[in-house]
A and B are shown apart, each in its own frame.
Chain A
Amino acid sequence: MIAVETSNLTKRFDGLVAVDHLDMEVQQGEIFGLLGPNGAGKTTTIRLLLDIIKPDEGVIRLLGHSPGPEAQERVGYLPEERGLYRNLKLMDCLTYLAVLKGMDRKLVRKRAEMLLERLGLGGEGGSKVKALSRGMQQKAQLVATLVHDPEVVILDEPFQGLDPISTEQVKELIRDLRERGKTVVLSTHMMNQVERMCDRILLIDEGRRVLYGPLEEIKARYAEHAVLVRCSGALEGLIGARRIEQRERERLIILEDDALPQDILRQLVEREIAVERFEVATPPLEEIFIQVVEEKDA
């Protein structure tokens, strides 16, 4: 089932095309990466989905509805520009935002406490927001996004400003959402941070679709015919290897067209080289993006 769908979506500001005829579908229960560099049009796309701004052209369907009150209540949104009511107690703030999303006031406290506990903020419900550290406020904002148990969760740069431990806590929470059948739209410019989490991605640049589809397919499409090896022995003279490049601690072996990865692995075993890591090389998403944009501009 399709959770989010756009067709021919376009938005212009003062003649600048922020979103340019964008088509996409987000399946229910998947983690969908809305990726692209800064200024690519990600936040504008999200604001269009949430009916915060109106499109100039195109159609949006959110959980089977046009953007509006019905769809809004079933969506949780963590904006890139974050903030809560600084002078309110955290629980009062969470309650107000959840009730605006249609949640019964009586049910908010229990669920909010569970989420606060999960993100290491247990017992902070009675604290004023301004008394919380920056990192705690970031996590509290995520609780505000999830407290009404939305079906679709849109997270704009969710890891921005988080320390590694908090980043891991948030990643775990996102994976948990997928397991519970929730749809997660993850928007970020830090592609390497989320590429392992996403089922499918949409990569946009200057408001236009650059790459779209299952992450594995895209990676396979742009995979070099190569293997990545970490080992201590010499690799010269391997049959089927066109050339060898050093990549930090690993070496990348570019294969001849008719060579197979298992041919290389067999030779390494035969030479009794201690292999720590051996895998078919796939380029990072960021490299694929640069390659695609360069090809487009060429």
Chain B
Amino acid sequence: MRKILEVARHEFIVSLKRPSFIIATLALPLLGIVGLIVSAYFGGQAGEFLEQQFVGTPKAVGYVDQVGLFTPPLPEYADLFIPYPNEEAGREALFAEEIEALLLIPGDYLDTGRVIGYSKGRGLPTAISVSEERIRPFLVDHLLAGQVDEGLRARVRAPMNLLPVSLAPQGEGSEDIASFVANIAIPYAFSILLVMAIFTSSGFLLQGVSEEKESRVIEILLSSLTPIELLAGKILGLGALGLAQILFWLGCGWALIGIAVTGLALFGAITLDVATIVLALVYFLLGYLLFATLMASAGSLGTSAREGQQIAGIFSGLTAIPFMVSSFIWTNPNSLLVQILSYVPLTSPVMMLQRLGMTEVPLYQIALSLILLILGIGGALWAGAKVFRMGLLMYGKRPSVAEIWRALRQA
């Protein structure tokens, strides 16, 4: 155990000093601070400013009113909707780029609802440059002006402002939108952090093993401790580093949210589901353990750091699967595919972390997924240790599949 802790200490300190680790650790909170400053000092204006940069200032829309219900335009639309007496005049204005689009509202509009939209260019006829959201209020307001009171007119223009509420079996869930978002966002954030930790900590692990093999230090190490002690020490040290990095990020995140809530009143008070947070931590730790073992074994197989990374790419690619099917999780977090991926040890940590915030995952599914994950870790450690031992002393030659198989079969 003493040697394992010594290796862990060494790996922790050496990786902590790596410039790539320092940059990666500080970059995320700095981005958060920049975001907070932008929100605090520019407020809603920032959004408008950004929108203007990407979308630009909208031009007026021309229209030809053949039904007689839309002229003259209401004062609030006078700048953005310009009436033309006939289609020819409207087309001329369109080609002269005085207007962005031309709407022809025919005489049978009330019966059919048909409106013809003209845009300049050769795009598909459906690709009208003015969105329906911009046209609808214009039509609604003119149709109802003087017919109903102002409040009803506004409600018809925007009939729904949906507030989703989840009901847990014990009773009503939180109606607080900030807590609702936080309880989705935090497990989701954990899943992203898990992937980041796999790519940083396991990446260092892989790099360290490959370098030790490439520089031949490995032979001296193996004359001092067993491959299992070396593997365990590395996983422990870099796991602690990954955890420290995440705790640092969470601490920064907590502080930033605190500032946003108390100082800037950007959110309401947030209440978090403790069980979800604890489970998120458990999945994070187990997920790291599994991937770290696989990455270290892969690193031992390569003849160089680059080759080790290529082999490990197989495993790191697997972490992306839950994100590739995230549309399934968002639409139906209990679908069969999502459930299956919640049981497969290579995808379950990320998948479960995403599901936990979005739905009430049945307890038996959590238990089964954890059992399978722990069994998967056991299997990975068993096989990883054998492959690690064999791979470490193979210089200049990558072991064949047959050799790996033989190593696995050896007692």
Contacts and interface: CB of A to CB of B under 8 A. Distances in A.
Interface string B125-162: 00000000000000000000000000000000000000
Interface in A15-59: 47, 50-53
Contact of B10 (A51, A87, A96): A96
B202 to A, nearest CB: 19
A72 interface: yes
Contacts of A72: 223-225
Interface stretch (A78-86, A229-237, A250-258, A274-282): A78-86
Interface in A136-180: 144
Contact of A83 (B7, B217, B224, B226): B217
Contact of A53 (B212, B220, B221, B393): B393
B216 A79 contact: yes
A129 to B, nearest CB: 9
A5 to B, nearest CB: 18
Dominant secondary structure of chain B at its interface with chain A: helix
Nearest to B224: A100
Given A99-B6, A100-B3, A50 B223 contact: yes
Dominant secondary structure of chain A at its interface with chain B: loop
Interface string B1-34: 0010011001000100000000000000000000
A77 B215 contact: no
B218 to A, nearest CB: 8
A116 interface: no
Contacts of A101: 224
B395 interface: yes
A91 interface: no
Nearest to B215: A83
B220 A97 contact: yes
A53 B393 CA distance: 9
Contact of B393 (A52, A73, A84, A87): A52
Contacts of B285: none
A108 B215 CA distance: 23
Contacts, number: 60
Given A96-B10, A100-B3, A85 B224 contact: no
Contacts of B216: 79, 81-83
A53 B219 CA distance: 11
B393 A85 contact: no
A290 B272 CA distance: 80
Contact of A81 (B10, B225, B395): B395
Given A83-B215, A85-B217, A75 B10 contact: no
B217 A84 contact: yes
Contacts of A84: 215, 217
A286 B216 CA distance: 30
A88 interface: yes
B393 A88 contact: no
A125 to B, nearest CB: 17
A97 B220 CA distance: 8
Interface residues on B, range: 20 to 34
A188 B221 CA distance: 22
Max count, chain B CB within 10 A of own CB: residue among A72, A73, A97, A100: A100
A100 B14 contact: no
B222 interface: yes
B220 A77 contact: yes
Nearest to B18: A87
Interface string B211-251: 11011110111111110000000000000000000000000
B355 to A, nearest CB: 41
A96 B230 CA distance: 13
B228 to A, nearest CB: 12
B394 to A, nearest CB: 11
A100 B11 CA distance: 13
A100 B395 contact: no
Nearest to A156: B219
A51 B221 CA distance: 12
A77 B395 contact: no
Nearest to A80: B219
A100 B233 CA distance: 12
A86 B215 contact: yes
Nearest to B230: A100
Contacts of B217: 83-85
Contacts of A75: 223
B8 to A, nearest CB: 12
Contacts of B215: 83-86
Contacts of A96: 6, 10
Contacts of B211: 85-86
Given A53-B393, A100-B225, A88 B14 contact: yes
A51 B7 CA distance: 19
Contacts of A87: 14
B393 to A, nearest CB: 7
Contacts of B221: 97, 100
A52 to B, nearest CB: 5
Nearest to B392: A52
Contacts of B220: 77, 79, 83, 97, 144
27 contacts: A50-B223, A51-B223, A51-B226, A52-B219, A53-B393, A69-B225, A69-B226, A72-B225, A73-B224, A75-B223, A77-B219, A77-B220, A77-B223, A79-B219, A79-B220, A81-B216, A82-B216, A83-B215, A83-B216, A84-B217, A85-B212, A85-B215, A97-B221, A99-B6, A100-B3, A100-B7, A101-B224
Given A87-B14, A99-B6, 15 more contacts: A52-B219, A52-B223, A52-B393, A72-B223, A77-B223, A79-B216, A79-B223, A85-B217, A88-B14, A96-B6, A97-B220, A97-B221, A100-B221, A101-B224, A144-B220
Interface of B: 3, 6-7, 10, 14, 211-212, 214-217, 219-226, 393, 395
Which 10 pairs across A and B sit closest by C-beta, in order of nearness? A83-B216, A83-B215, A81-B216, A79-B219, A100-B224, A77-B223, A50-B223, A52-B222, A83-B217, A96-B10
